[in-house]
Chain A
Amino acid sequence: MLRILHQIFKVGTITEPLASSERFDVLGAQLKTAVRQRFQGSLAIRLVDAGSCNGCELEIHAANNAYYDIERFGMHFTASPRFADLLLVTGPVSINMKTALEMTYDAMPSPKLVVAMGDCAVNCGVFGKGNYAIAGTVADIIPVDAVIHGCPPSPTDLIQGILACLNDA
């Protein structure tokens, strides 16, 4: 136990002080305000992988690490769409995932915000439109409020995209 405490103490706080990255600073402050004002300080996100390669999922995990610590802005990932405010969708929507995506969307309460994350979700990316196995982009299947480009988008891009979505909402 002592070793665990020692290790925690040794590493210290690595969460980026809002000043160390200019972009992150502005974003973080705005995001916190948006989440506080519009969602009482708590924004529940449900992720659906509609056909991604798992690259976007790795970056979502990274957004939860101590450097970005997305939870400090009041955002957390939830296991059920029933109490999710925002649906984060990755990947081109495969024909085999289309129904599951629609059902998840239908299961959410309003305002049903949707963010399409990554080039695949936005324009089918490297897998391409005009592919028998792909039903379309996320926007072709459900209404989308914000898109985040990148293959995959970085954790900072992710935070920025969610902020854009909240501001438009």
Chain B
Amino acid sequence: MTRPSRNTWFGERLSDQGIYVQYLDDHHPVHMPCLEIRRLDWAHAAKEAKRLEMRLVAVWAADANKRAGKDASERRLCTYMAFAHPEHRHVLLRTELSAAKPEIPSLSGHYIAACRMERSMQDMFGLNVSNAFDNRLWIKHEHWPEDSHALLRAFDAHTPLRPEPERIGMDYDYVSCDSECVYEIPVGPVHAGIIESGHFRFLAVGEKILNMEERLGYVHKGIERSMQGRTAQDGIALAGRVSGDSTVGHAWAFAQACEYAANLDIPPRASYLRGVLCERERIANHIGDIGAVCNDAAFAFMHGQCLRLREEMARLHQEIFGHRLLMDAVTIGGVASDLSGDMCQKLIRQTLDIAAEVEHLRAIYADAPSIQQRVIGAGIVSVVDAKDLGLLGFVGRASGHYSDERIEEAYPPYDDLIIPVPEGKLGGVSTRVWVRFEEIANASRMVIQLLETLPEGEINTVWQAPEAGVSGFAAIESWRGEIAAWVRFGMDARIDRYFVRDPSVINWLGLELAVRTVPVPDFPLVNKSFNCSYSGNDL
């Protein structure tokens, strides 16, 4: 494999603006470099990225590890931000904060999607984001003791937090309205159906939703902190459970970040098998969600049929990969199990059958006025808003924002495939369902092509952890959209910091826009068409 050369495009643009940049040698891969910039250039660099029409990927923090020998409490904090350009891939920027007063200007003036990530950063590290228009707590709920910042080294991460008595019952400062005509509907964290936990606060006038505000963080499990101190092989089981429905995507993103950090190439057969797993996961989730969307509009026939197809996939996954949801199938350096010729044939046959059945159901769905009248025109996110938020995956692709890491980043095995992009523009529930139908068909073709051209050879590379201080970054297109993972290794081959951004972190913002002006009873329908992850957001 030829090594791609260093990606200097954004670095050069920043230099043109008089921003001093320095490429970090302890970060891989070189085509997604990490640049150190001065703190005073932080907001300026983001402004320049916005001008170049780059997409904000993530904002996060970590303690600096250059002087790892020093006392942990003396370590300074660093903040990172990552951007992506459709033609020029990803770039990470890093800056070091002052030890006395850890403060960084907010990016939310340039990128609104930065806001919640900055709030998480404040909660977890106790640093101060200045000029932010929203400084409320996010993951750290009101009852946490004020000085608990879970990702600081000094924080005791092994004892369950005890709520501070005087903080219990403190309420989150929701967006509210003084008008007598407007009423509030609180929903959750325990929802009516079989779904994850989170809170929605509606402001409604009559039947119409004026505003819906999300309050998440309920299923925060301390995943980032729990990853610290694990080896890569030990950590991948945890990464695969960031969000159980995208276990392949998250495990792959984690594995690839580790492999990039260690400069490790995996065998072609392993990357093909990862592709098969990921595309099968995409098909299964899209089928399940199409059924659920229809069910929320009382078109139960479709739900029954989709659940049946999904179950058939799960059973074959159990038989071939040993797990109904494909958990633990991706390993560091490769995949857990190989496929025999027979198994390949079985997978091909079932993928063909399922694709044909979905096409048949699609014709019925498209022809049924009872469902069409509910989905067409419901829950619209405009092209302008989608671009502004940087919506990801099928949600973005339904609203004219077509980022797809399988094409832009073209990591193996996708460099060998042609990936069609369903170009939706109308941005409603029906468009999102349409994109999902298209993606099922495309993913089926990919699974079959990958299996038919499966290269011979090993399915694993021997894992060799990188030196302490080395970091790796990966961007994987899971079924929901791009998962960005950043892993830094510490002493003894153990992970020192793991950051992951599930596509839901961004797409949840899209849902808030989509439900404005729809009637309250349409909320479940619109929500299902997004199906954002709570667990992936809360970590």
Contact = CB atoms under 8 A, between A and B. Distances in A.
Contacts of A79: 192-193
Given A7-B305, A57-B196, A136-B160, 5 more contacts: A52-B219, A54-B535, A62-B314, A91-B219, A152-B325
Interface in B232-259: 237-238, 241-245, 247
Given A58-B244, A61-B194, A3 B364 contact: yes
Contacts of B144: 95
Contacts of B533: 54
A169 B141 CA distance: 37
B374 interface: no
A55 B196 CA distance: 10
Nearest to A59: B324
Contacts of B128: none
B217 interface: yes
Contacts of B368: 4
6 contacts: A100-B189, A127-B221, A132-B157, A132-B158, A133-B160, A154-B318
B311 A67 contact: yes
A138 B483 CA distance: 30
A47 to B, nearest CB: 5
B241 A55 contact: yes
B238 A94 contact: no
B306 to A, nearest CB: 9
Interface residues of B, number: 61
A64 B247 CA distance: 22
A135 interface: yes
Nearest to A101: B190
Given A52-B196, A53-B535, A131-B225, A94 B327 contact: no
B141 A62 contact: no
B304 interface: yes
B350 interface: no
Interface of B: 141, 143-144, 148, 150, 155-161, 163, 189-190, 192-197, 217-223, 225-226, 237-238, 241-245, 247, 288, 301, 304-305, 307-308, 310-311, 314, 318, 324-325, 327, 360-361, 363-364, 367-368, 533-535, 538
Nearest to B284: A58
Contacts of B196: 49, 52, 54, 57
Nearest to A6: B364
A55 B244 contact: yes
A28 interface: no
B247 A55 contact: yes
A18 to B, nearest CB: 17
A56 interface: yes
Contacts of B324: 59, 62, 154
Contact of A65 (B163, B307, B327): B307
Contact of A54 (B155, B217, B243, B311): B243
Contact of B195 (A57, A133, A151): A57
Given A7-B361, A152-B244, A97 B194 contact: no
Interface in A114-156: 125-128, 130-136, 151-152, 154
Contact of B222 (A67, A91, A133, A152): A133
A86 to B, nearest CB: 14
3 closest Cβ pairs, A-B complex: A55-B244, A133-B222, A79-B192
B531 to A, nearest CB: 10
Interface string A18-51: 0000000000000000000000000000011111
A49 B163 CA distance: 20
Interface string A47-88: 111111111111111101111000000000101110000000
A7, A79, A131, A152 pick with most chain B CB within 10 angstroms: A131
Contacts of B318: 154
Nearest to B301: A4
Given A53-B535, A97-B218, A132-B158, A48 B190 contact: yes
B159 A100 contact: no
B218 A52 contact: no
A167 interface: no
A111 to B, nearest CB: 20
A126 B241 contact: yes
Contacts of A62: 307, 310-311, 314, 324
Nearest to A57: B194
Given A54-B196, A134-B221, A127 B244 contact: no
Contacts of A135: 160
B307 A100 contact: no
Nearest to A154: B324
B218 A100 contact: yes
Of A56, A81, A130, which is in contact with the most chain B CB atoms at under 10 Å from its CB?
A130
Contact of B197 (A50, A126, A130, A151): A50
Contacts of B195: 49, 57
Contacts of B158: 130-132
Contacts of B218: 51, 94, 96-97, 100
B245 A55 contact: yes
B170 to A, nearest CB: 12
Contacts of A95: 141, 143-144, 160-161, 163, 220
A28 to B, nearest CB: 17
B296 to A, nearest CB: 13
A7 B327 CA distance: 32
Given A61-B307, A94-B218, A54 B244 contact: yes
A51 B160 contact: no
B152 to A, nearest CB: 11
A148 B143 CA distance: 31
Q: In the complex, which of the residues A50, A59, A126 has the most CB atoms of chain B within 10 Å of its own CB atom?
A: A126
A135 B219 CA distance: 11
A71 to B, nearest CB: 12
A66 B308 contact: yes
Given A7-B364, A104-B190, A151-B327, A49 B311 contact: no
